[in-house]
């Protein structure tokens, strides 16, 4: 790995990591604690991530249970979940909050799969933009005579291999998530 392409490899890696994190937040019919990652609770005079004020568990395949560490914050936790607009209404029994994931309809599954593919395409565009930037960078190095024409060819080949590698990772992530969504 050349020092000229290291920065671009890191950028491509971050693009794939961002996509996989986004995919974790997509509901696939099964309870997944990651749908609550963006929930913020206003309590003790400040905003805090949900996982710092409550324990989150999956007691059943389609149920998430949120148990506040301090019962006096249960209303604030419920309000935070509602505000996050995750598409599931919280059921508060005074001690815990339950989120019951409805079965996804075939139509909704197909819609989610399309959304996942769009996210993947967006990530591929980002990878191609990084590739373009990397190619421009190495061509400028060659113009300034900092590298030879042969080194330029090697670097361009290396950049293309990185692009192919990360594009395959995106395709695999999309395929995995799509299968998860479509499985009943």
Domain 3-25+105-182 has CATH 1.10.1370.30: no
Give the pLDDT mean for 120-133.
Answer: 96
125 token code pair: 């565009």
Least confident interval from 32-41, 122-131, 138-147, 150-159: 32-41
Q: What confidence score (pLDDT) does residue 184 get?
A: 60
Residues shown for the chain: 184
Any idea which residue has 């969504």 for tokens?
181
Q: Is 135 exposed, middle or buried (0-12, 13-18, 19+ CB in 10 A)?
A: middle
Task: Evaluate the CA torsion angle 170, 174, 176, 177 in order and state its sign.
Answer: positive
pLDDT for 16-30, tens place per residue? 999 998 888 776 667
Count other Cβ atoms within 10 Å, centred on residue 129.
Answer: 12
Compute the mean pLDDT over every residue in the chain, rounded to the nearest whole number: 89
Winning range, highest mean pLDDT, from 12-16, 36-40, 42-46, 105-109: 12-16
pLDDT-derived band at 138 (thresholds 50, 70, 90) equals very high
pLDDT for 87-117, tens place per residue? 788 889 988 999 888 787 888 888 889 999 9
Domain 33-100 has CATH 3.30.1360.40: yes
**What residues does each domain of the chain span?**
3-25+105-182, 33-100
């Amino acid at each position: 790995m050349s020092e000229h392409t290291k920065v671009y490899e890191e950028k491509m890696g971050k693009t794939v990591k961002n996509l996989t994190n986004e995919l974790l937040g997509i509901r696939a019919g099964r309870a997944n604690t990651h749908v609550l990652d963006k929930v913020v609770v206003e309590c003790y005079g400040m905003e805090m991530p949900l996982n710092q004020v409550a324990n989150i568990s999956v007691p059943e395949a389609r149920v998430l249970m949120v148990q506040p560490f301090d019962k006096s914050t249960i209303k604030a936790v419920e309000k935070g979940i509602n505000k996050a607009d995750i598409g599931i209404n919280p059921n508060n029994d005074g001690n815990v909050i339950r989120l019951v994931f409805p079965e996804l309809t075939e139509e909704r599954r197909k819609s989610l799969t399309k959304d996942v593919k769009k996210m993947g395409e967006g990530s591929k565009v980002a990878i191609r933009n990084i590739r373009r930037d990397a190619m421009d960078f190495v061509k400028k190095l060659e113009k300034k005579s900092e590298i030879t024409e042969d080194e330029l060819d090697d670097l361009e080949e290396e950049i293309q291999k990185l692009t192919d590698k990360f594009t395959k990772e995106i395709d695999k992530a999309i395929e995995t998530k799509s299968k998860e969504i479509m499985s009943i």
